[in-house]
Structures are given as structure tokens and as C-alpha cells.
Structure 1
Amino acid sequence: MDTMRDRFISTASRLLDEDPRLAVVLADISTDGFAPAQRTHPDRVINVGIREQLLVGVGGGLALTGVRPIVHTFASFLVERPFEQVKLDFQHQGTGAVLVSAGGSYDWPSGGFTHMAPGDVALMDTLDDWTIHVPGHPDEAEALLRRAATGDDRVYLRLSLQQNEEPLPVTGEGFLTLREGRSGVVVAVGPMLGAVTEAVADLDVTVLYATTVRPFDGAALRRATETATADIVLVEPYLAGTSTAAASDALRDIPHRILARGVGRKELRHYGEMSEHLAAQRLDPASLREDIGAFLGASAGGR
């Protein structure tokens, strides 16, 4: 299976052939993959080098001329390092773009903390009117990228090496209800679905699948509480609690409890493998089963 990043490169390259309005802006990351497209479209595949603030600034300038820029690098260099440019060159100017990150929260542990961005979605959530997609499979990443490329709005597409075994038919709007139960609601975001599915296999819970996390589908969450208790578990592949406020606001008139699972705030000063980071953050199936079971208590029952 190809990775989400591989699929992004091949899909974006085809989109350049299909839509003359599009341009891809890079900062050395993924340039080898885009080399054929750059030879075909030298004026619409732009590599600014290791200059991330310029990366976003060039994308913002292109947007002001009517171009639809697809701006790409690792999440830590796309969101965190040039955040002022994201805020001013897109948000303040009122222009649109598709920001596509790679690297997730800790896809490349040996790269160290400079290449980790568990806080990227929380940081983007401080800006108004951004759509944030977190696909869980390369097919979903392709579908969401194609949707984003046709618009004029501001989109952040978060890619990761973590991925589920099978894709689901995502549309870019709302959550999918994968199963219904009575003892609680578990919201699995993007690549966390596989671990969540394994973790709750014997629990009587509703499972919602979220690949578009902003806007947050509060309506789907409310509907889920009509048949299940309002005990909510959020499992996100980035900073724990990123969507707690959105979920709580959706249920503001309904008594509820929320357990937030994701990447902790404390830095893990070890390299290791991605699987070891998942286990250390208690995002592996066994840890999730223990934490969700303890939160829901005896009411979780069995299936």
C-alpha cells in the first residue's frame, strides 16, 4: 500500500494537468516526487528551498492573483514555524489555499522534536473558518485533496504514516456512524480508527469516524447520544483534548462526560519507533481498551 504522502504527490501531480488554476509550493520536502510535474509545469511547481515562512508567503501571494496554491511540507514547518504567515497571508488577507502537511505527530521519531507537531490542529483551530481534514487512509487523502482543490476556501489536510487497513467513503462533511451501542460514544479521528475498532470490539458503544474535524460535526455527536449514554471518548492522533471544547459545546444542554485521548503535553525525550510512541501515549489498542473500559465502567457491557 502506498502512503498518504505518496498518494498526495501522485494526485496533486495529476491535478496540475487537469486544472491550470492550481500550483504546488514546496520547501525542499517531497521535491523528488514532484520532479516530473515540475518538468511539465515549471511555472506551477515552485520550490523555495528551506524557507518555510517564504513557503507560506509565496502561497499567499499566488492566492492574491487568483491561483489555488497547494502548500506542502512537514507539519512542524507548515503550521508551527510560519504560523504568523498563515495568520496574515491567508487569514487576514481573506484568501484561500490548501495546506498539506506530512509527518503527523511523530511519524519520524529519529528526526527529533523539531519534526514532531502534535499541536498543529489545536494551533490551526485558533484561526477562523478553516476546514481541517485528517484522513485515515491514502484513498481518503486523495478524495479529500480532490475536493479541496476545487474550492476557494482555506483547508488544512493532515497526512500521516499512520493509516487504517481499509478506506471508508468520506465526503469531507460530517462524521460517519460505523456502529451503534448504548454505553457511550467513541469518536475515532482519522488513522486512530483501526486501534479504536480493536479496542472496543467487545464494548457496547457507538463508534463515530471523523476525517473532517473542523467544522466539528456536533449534530452527529448529539444524534449518537439519543441511543447511547452521553459518555464521550475522543481519540485523536494529535494533542489530547483538541476537540474537547467543540464536543462539550455541541452537548452544552445535555449532561455529559468526556474522556480525551491523544498525544500528551509532556515531551517524550526518546527516539524509538512510531509504534513505541503510540504505546507511550496510550494510543495502542490495549491501552485504549483499558482506558475506555475504565471510563465507561460496568455499563460498557459486552457485544
Structure 2
Amino acid sequence: MSGATGTGTTMREAFVATAGHLLDEDPRVAVVLAAISADVFADAARRHPDRVIDVGIREQLLVGVAGGMALTGMRPIAHTYAPFLVERPFEQVKLDLGHQGVGAVLVSVGASYDWAAGGRTHHAPGDVALLDTLPGWTVHVPGHPDEVVDLLRRAARTDDRVYLRLTNDGNARAHPVGAGFQVLRTGRRAVVVAVGPVLDRVLAATARLDVTVLYASTVRPFDAVGLRAAVLAADRADVVLVEPYLAGTSTHAVAEALADVPHRVRALGVRRDVELRGYGEPADHDAAHGLDVAGIAARIHAFTRA
């Protein structure tokens, strides 16, 4: 799936266009870059040279500058590849934003392995799990470029700490964004939570199964109320998480939501037990991690029959 709208817009293009509009509309908004995407922000930089800042290949400085801007009352949007935005400058994310009690919008591209040929340095399946070790983060994982527009605009209006995770992958159509799960299909045998760009694959994989399918473009805060309602309406308290990043990232959130309900959880995502060293294409990684339609279908089918 291309992650494109009918006009061919990608999530990254939707982000760049929306950020440009926000720069024009709101004098608080600034965009901080670390070389990545500097070319596509060139027009915005000419219009707003004091609020589009390229620090070069210095990712720790990228986050530090965003923290400093936030301390002055600005609303910084920091952007680069996921491993360079969350993993490499994690100390600055923890201290310059979290410990100082200020917010920023971190917008990543690359997802888990969008640029498969870039190798392990450009893969980041653990980014959401890593941010999960810090309090107070809102995490959006859109499944369509139109969702990116809405989520970024909402984030820019707040002073919260927000992570917006973009990918080349995506669903055929957008769904309304919000903090809660959307019920896209109801069933009795299990509740399947599909996060962001894996939704279409989950719907195809469960087409003949008697399961409820919930969709989430926002995973933090986790919609415990929505999950409980769906589980309690089913015949079995079985939950399948299908996340496009590290398998089991949201298992603890499911456990907390269902602490008083005996339940089972099957977590699907990027495998924890292997590191793929053959670059290949993103589809090859999906298949190896069981995140293609066939892999998702086989594992959900086995789980619901157990």
C-alpha cells in the first residue's frame, strides 16, 4: 500500500505542506531540521528565515534547540528520520523537553523500516516503546496522509509533548482522528486492535473471522475505556494487538485496561527475537515479521481457535 491519497500525496508531503501553512498562520510555530527535508522546506525557509532552522547533522542539537524555543513560548516542530529523532537524541528528549516541562512536536519519517536499503541505522521499530518510558507523551500513528493534516494541526494548537510517526505505508482511505478507538467491525471471538497503517491488512486478514476490529491513529494516551467496552461485549476476552513497530509495545496498556478481567493477549508487530540483516524491501520485512496479510491472518486464526 502506498499510503497515498487519490492525488498521490504521501504522509511526508502532507506534513510539509501543513507545517508550511502553520508557519504562515501562527507566529509561535517553528520548524527545526537536521538536514533531512531541508530541500522541501526551502520555500517556507525563505518566507520565515527566523522560524525554519536547519542545525545540520546534529540530532542532539535538533532536540535541544526545540526545547529552548519551547521555553520562550514558541511551538517547535522537530523533524528527521525516526532513529535520529527518538533514539540518537533520547537524552535530550528526556531532559530538554520532559525534565524541563516543555513541549514540542516531534515528526518522524522512516517508521520501522521504510528505507529498508538504508540498513539498521535507518530502522526504528523501537521508537514508540522507547518513548513509552517517559511520562506525558501523546503518540500519533496515522494511517493516511489526510490523518496527518488533522493530527499535526491539533498538535500545533497545544503545548504538549507529541510524537507524530509518519510512514510510506498506509490505508486506502482516512478515518476520523481522535483519542479513542474506532469500532470498524464487530464480532464475538476476539478484539483486534489495528494501529495506523496496518489497518487495511488487518481488515483483509480478518474478513472471514468473527472478531471486532478497533482502529487507532492515537496510541498514547491508550483508550482503556474503549478497549474494555469492546472486550466486555464479546464472548471471549481475547485481544490481538497489531502494531507497525516493536511487538508488544502496548501489551502493558492492555493489561492495565483489563486488570480485573481474565484475558489473553496476542501481540503482533516487529519481532523482538531477530534482527534482519538482509536489506530487501519493506514488504520483505513485513513478511519476515508476519505483518503481511497472510501472516496476520494465520496468527489471528490460530489464536481465536485456541
- SS of 2:290's equivalent in the other structure is coil
**Paired residues for 1:271-282 under 5 Å:** 271-282=279-290
Distance 2:221 2:177 in 1: 15
Letter in 2 for 1:226: L
Which letter does structure 1 place at the counterpart of 2:190? G
Displacement of 1:275 after TM fit?
Answer: 0.8
**Which residue of 105, 110, 117 maps to 1:103?**
110
Residue 300 of structure 2 is matched in structure 1 by 292
Shift of 1:81: 0.1
> What aligned pairs does 1:169-188 form with structure 2 within 5 A after superposition?
169-171=176-178, 173-188=179-194
Aligned-partner SS, 2:232:
coil
Q: Deviations over 1:86-133 (max 9, x none)?
A: 000000000011000000000001100000000000000000011000
Whole-angstrom CA distance in 1 between matches of 2:172 and 2:287: 19
Distance in 2, matches of 1:226 and 1:113, equals 41
Q: Summarize the alignment of residues 102-121 of structure 1 with structure 2, pairs less than 5 Å apart.
A: 102-121=109-128
Cα distance in 2 between the residues matched to 1:270 and 1:217: 36
Spell out, residue by residue over 1:18-48, the C-alpha distance to the aligned partner (whole angstroms, 9 max, x if none). 0000000000011111000000000000000
Structure 1 Cα separation of the partners of residues 164 and 71 of structure 2 = 21
Counterpart of 1:208 in structure 2 is: 214
Q: Shift of the alpha carbon at 1:2?
A: 1.3
Cα distance, 1:225 vs structure 2: 1.2
SS at match of 2:267: strand
Q: CA RMSD in A?
A: 0.7
| Deviation >4 Å, runs of 4+ | none
Amino acid in the other structure paired with 1:295: F
SS of residue paired to 1:225: helix
- 1:226 Cα offset (Å): 2.0
Deviations 1:122-153 (A, max 9, x none): 00000001100000000001110000000011
* Paired position in structure 2 for 1:152: 159
- Which 10-residue stretch deviates more, 109-118 or 225-234? 225-234
Q: How many residues align?
A: 297
Classify the secondary structure of the residue corresponding to 1:121: helix
Task: Report the counterpart of residue 301 of structure 1 in structure 2.
Answer: none
Aligned-partner residue type, residue 231 of structure 2: T
Which of 51, 74, 78 is equivalent to 1:71? 78
How many angstroms does 1:227 deviate by?
1.8
AA of the residue aligned to 1:174: G
Letter in structure 1 aligned against 2:25: E
Residue 132 (structure 1) aligns with: 139
In 1, Cα distance between the equivalents of 2:271 and 2:169?
17
Which of 109, 127, 130 is the matching residue for 1:123?
130
Where 2:37 maps in the other structure, the secondary structure is coil
TM-score, normalisation: structure 2:
0.96
2:207 maps to a residue whose letter is: A
Match of 1:226, SS? helix
* Overall identity of the aligned pairs, in %: 67
Q: Tell me the amino acid that sits aligned with residue 43 of structure 1.
A: D
Structure 2 residue identity aligned to 1:7: A
SS at match of 2:70: helix
TM-score (norm 1): 0.97
CA distance in 2 between partners of 1:9 and 1:207 (Å): 31
Partner of 2:20: 13
Deviations 1:181-224 (Å, cap 9, x if unpaired)? Answer: 00000000000101100000000100000111011101111000
Whole-angstrom distance in 2 between the partners of 1:207 and 1:248: 18
